């Protein structure tokens, strides 16, 4: 019994394309979804009709795609980009926090504290010499200092804190660098 093999020869272009191809699982987004995501990251107020025109599809499937992206958690929400200074919050600081212990229990306790501190607008758990990076927004340096000394440094398990006050925003881009 003989087995038949088919010999396929690829051009250099096909080989390069296959080498650089990003293989996405069946459940991932397609090119139309990516166009919708790029548009929404740029302006979350686009109407469904505007989005459908941008993506090159009709309005009903556009709406279904957006809803599917929301249901799957790819689109996590919509928000207004508010200028803190225009509301009297003149200080933004990034605070590096080191903990004495990083047991699961201690991390959960610290996480609960984070959620109760309104001055902390974003918090990231990190791997490395710093355990958490906090983005804090305060009305002034006095409010920030009070939070750091009276609240954060007084919290159990906090070993050290290093603070950098924001001087100027040089770049602020959408959260995901999608390219089409």
Structure tokens at 130: 């710093």
Q: In the structure, what pLDDT confidence band is assigned to residue 169 with cuts at 50, 70 and 90?
A: very high
First to last CA, the chain: 49
The pLDDT, as a whole number, for residue 13 is: 54
The pLDDT, as a whole number, for residue 175 is: 81
User: Which CATH number describes the domain made up of 24-80?
Assistant: 1.10.10.10
- Assess whether pLDDT exceeds 60 at residue 27: no
Residues linked to residue 98 through DSSP beta bridges, in sequence order: 160
Write out the H or E segment, with its range, that includes residue 50.
Answer: helix 48-55
The chain-wide mean pLDDT, for the chain, equals: 88
- Rounded mean pLDDT of 51-62? 97
- Assess whether pLDDT exceeds 90 at residue 159: yes
SS3 96: strand
User: Which CATH number describes the domain made up of 84-165?
Assistant: 3.30.70.920
Task: Give the C-alpha distances (Å, rounded to integers) separating 140 from 87, 112, 119, 135.
Answer: 12, 25, 11, 14
Answer whether 129's CB lies under 8 Å from 136's CB. no
The pLDDT, as a whole number, for residue 173 is: 86
Domain positions in the chain are: 24-80, 84-165
Model pLDDT for residues 91-133, shown as the tens digit of each residue: 999 999 999 999 999 999 999 999 999 999 999 999 999 999 9
- Rounded mean pLDDT of 13-29? 51
Q: In the structure, what pLDDT confidence band is assigned to residue 1 with cuts at 50, 70 and 90?
A: very low
- Rounded mean pLDDT of 30-49? 95
């Amino acid at each position: 019994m003989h087995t038949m093999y088919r010999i396929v020869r690829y051009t250099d272009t096909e080989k390069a394309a296959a080498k650089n191809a990003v293989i996405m699982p069946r459940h991932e987004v397609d090119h139309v979804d990516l166009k919708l995501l790029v548009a929404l990251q740029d302006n979350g107020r686009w109407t469904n009709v505007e989005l459908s025109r941008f993506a090159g599809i009709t309005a009903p499937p556009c709406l279904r795609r957006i809803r599917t992206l929301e249901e799957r958690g790819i689109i996590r929400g919509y928000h207004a980009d508010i200028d803190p200074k225009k509301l009297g919050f003149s200080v933004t600081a990034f605070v590096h926090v080191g903990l004495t212990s990083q047991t699961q229990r201690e991390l959960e306790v610290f996480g609960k504290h984070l959620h109760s501190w309104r001055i902390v607008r974003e918090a990231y758990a990190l791997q490395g010499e710093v355990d958490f990076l906090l983005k804090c927004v305060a009305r002034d340096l006095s409010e920030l200092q009070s939070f750091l000394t009276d609240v954060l440094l007084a919290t159990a398990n906090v070993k050290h804190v290093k603070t950098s006050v924001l001087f100027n925003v040089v770049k602020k881009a959408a959260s995901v660098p999608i390219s089409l």
